[in-house]
Amino acid sequence: MNLSPTRRKTVLRTVRISKELDEILEKDAKVHRTSVNALISSIMAKYAEWDRYTEKFGHISVPMKLFRALLDLTDENALATLAERLGVELTNEITLFWFKKVDPETLRQFLTLACEYGKVGECEVKDEGRDHMFSIYHEYGKNWSMFFEHFLDKAIRTYLRAIPQFETTENSVTVRYQNFLSSF
């Protein structure tokens, strides 16, 4: 679900906001070199594509420094076991709730939204027929890479019935696989 106004028909809507909120929006729009309208549209798209769903799943915001420290303190075997469990459970629960099915397209949409709004990393998706690649770059260290590798391995094997191939570094994970269920 991409709610970018450049790709959709738009509707004119008027809202009242406080002077203080208007000043914040003006300031932030200027910093981001965009219009207030575009800034508000991106805020609303984030709400529609991410916030309204994640609130129902108990997502929390955690400072990156704390998140990385917790990852660094976690036992690698315990983290791998957790990632494999969540690769099945979270993929199923969240993808079914948001998209009503688990398939290559909805898995890609979930991962893309998690990168864009959940800040799990910067992602790139490349699809060529049945050959698929998903790369994530992050700043959370080797344990996050290991978590993501185990998470994606279990999700792809379970829901797409494909055998993934991984290239993993301290700050990136790239997975390639062929999908025979349907194309992205």
Flag whether pLDDT at 103 surpasses 90: no
For the chain, the structural domain boundaries read 1-60, 61-178
Flag whether pLDDT at 61 surpasses 80: yes
Flag whether pLDDT at 71 surpasses 60: yes
Flag whether pLDDT at 3 surpasses 80: no
Task: Report the candidate in 118, 107, 16 with the shortest Cα–Cα distance to residue 67.
Answer: 118
DSSP line for 41-64: HHHHHHIIIIIHHHGGGT-----H
Q: What confidence tier does 127 reach under pLDDT thresholds 50, 70, 90?
A: confident
Tokens of 13: 């809507």
pTM for the whole structure? 0.81
Q: What confidence tier does 183 reach under pLDDT thresholds 50, 70, 90?
A: very low
pLDDT of residue 2: 57
Flag whether pLDDT at 1 surpasses 60: no
Q: What confidence tier does 175 reach under pLDDT thresholds 50, 70, 90?
A: very high
The CATH architecture assigned to 61-178 reads 2-Layer Sandwich (3.30)
Find the Cα–Cα–Cα–Cα dihedral 119, 173, 143, 121, rounded to 10°.
Answer: -10
Residue 113: CB partners within 8 Å, gap ≥ 6?
Answer: 49, 50
Q: What confidence tier does 65 reach under pLDDT thresholds 50, 70, 90?
A: very high
- The predicted model gives 90-101 an average pLDDT of 91
